[in-house]
Amino acid sequence: MTHVGPHPAVADVRRAVREALADVQKDALILTACSGGADSLALAAALAFVAPRLRLRAGLLTVDHQLQEGSRQRAETVAALGTDLGLTPAEVLTVTVGGEGGPEAAAREVRYAALSEAADRHGAEAVLLGHTLDDQAETVLLGLARGSGPRSLSGMAATTGRYRRPLLHLPRATTVAACRAQNLNLWDDPHNADPRYTRVRVRHKILPLLEQELGPGVIEALARTAALAREDADALDEWADSAYRHSVRGELGESVTLAVAELEKLPDAVRRRVLRRAAIAAGSPSGVLSATHVRALDRLVTHWHGQKAVNLPGGRSAVRRRGVLVIASGPTA
């Protein structure tokens, strides 16, 4: 019997995109980020197929990080492919990558900034990203190696603001098969094979070794861990939001005051979330506010013996006095 319909991998990717966009209003613009690799290319092709059937407009964004010779030409090739697929606009976003935080983090920061700017400029409802089940497993494994908490171990969310990741439940093998079935010309970024990058070593050495020694299914198990950790982290964050509202006694400019008696009632995990939120609300940058800083704040509540103020990133400090914890700009004593 002759097989009718798309290749199973193509059907899987299209179904994932269709389900991810089921709640979007008609005529909205959906953009997809595309590097030209298998994951994002399969996603772009699926969006081009699904969008007209959902009465949506669809476009493509590709980012030129200017980190390799010929990167501009490569980006223009990807944009041209987007046009061929019927995605409009199909735009190249050129960025300059700094060095702060390491090359991977720096590239990610400027990439998301460029995608957000373009989405605002075009009035896009959502931006699709091609992260897969394999990417989720790598993220969880990196979090475990760094000793991260449940929020980091929860990996990437299917939806984060305007960003949507339709392929998080599909393995990378599916996107490769979908591209081959549609004769899409893949591009393998040399950086994806460069062992200087931590994620590359996890992808090509650590995960295969775990699969070899522990048996198949490690990637799926790590992704399940992410889902479970996300449920717990979401519940704790919701509890912490309520606890913050009950604990706060004042928010004025770059100053937050919390009632120590209310903080003392909370479990450690919830109280530390409240303290982190308070520090950020007072102006301490979230990107450099570490667990060590939060634990130092916590000791002002749980191990109080008249100690001096705790210094925090961003020129903030915290001090306990007369039953309240004050986090503010500059000296608080």
Per-residue pLDDT tens listing for the chain (333 residues): 455 789 999 999 999 999 999 999 999 999 999 999 999 999 999 999 999 999 999 999 999 998 888 889 999 999 999 999 999 999 999 999 887 667 777 888 899 999 999 999 999 999 999 999 999 999 999 888 887 778 878 999 999 999 999 999 999 999 999 999 999 988 777 777 778 788 889 998 999 999 999 989 999 999 999 999 999 999 999 999 999 999 999 887 789 999 999 999 999 999 999 999 999 999 998 878 888 999 999 999 999 999 999 999 999 999 999 999 999 986 544
Q: Which residue from 257, 300, 301 is spatially nearest to 279, judged by alpha carbons?
A: 257
**What beta strand segments (E) does the chain contain?**
29-33, 57-64, 90-94, 126-128, 159-160, 163-164, 248-252, 255-259, 310-312, 316-321, 324-329
Q: Which residue from 91, 184, 172 is spatially nearest to 131, judged by alpha carbons?
A: 172
For residue 169, the one-letter residue type is: H
Q: Which residue from 251, 273, 270, 269 is spatially nearest to 326, judged by alpha carbons?
A: 251
What is the per-residue pLDDT for 275? 97
User: What is the three-class DSSP state of 137?
Assistant: helix
Pairing outcome for strands 57-64 and 90-94: parallel
Q: Could you tell me the pTM of the whole model? A: 0.83
CA-based radius of gyration for the chain: 23
Neighbours of 73 (CB within 10 A): 10
> DSSP secondary structure string, 145-191?
HTT--HHHHT---SEETTEE-TTTTS-HHHHHHHHHHTT------GG
> DSSP secondary structure string, 184-214?
------GGGG-TTSHHHHIIIIIHHHHHHHH
User: What is the three-class DSSP state of 308?
Assistant: coil
What is the per-residue pLDDT for 95? 92
Cα atoms in the Cβ-side hemisphere of radius 13 Å centred on 3:
4
Report the residue count for the chain: 333
Q: Which residue from 141, 140, 166 is spatially nearest to 151, judged by alpha carbons?
A: 140
Two tokens, residue 138: 């790598």
What is the per-residue pLDDT for 119? 98
What is the per-residue pLDDT for 333? 45
What is the per-residue pLDDT for 2? 53
- Taking the C-alpha atoms of residue 56 and residue 27, their distance in angstroms, rounded to an integer, is 5
Per-residue exposure over 194-220, b if at least 16 CB sit within 10 Å of its own CB, e if not: eeebebbebbeebbeebeeeeeeebbe
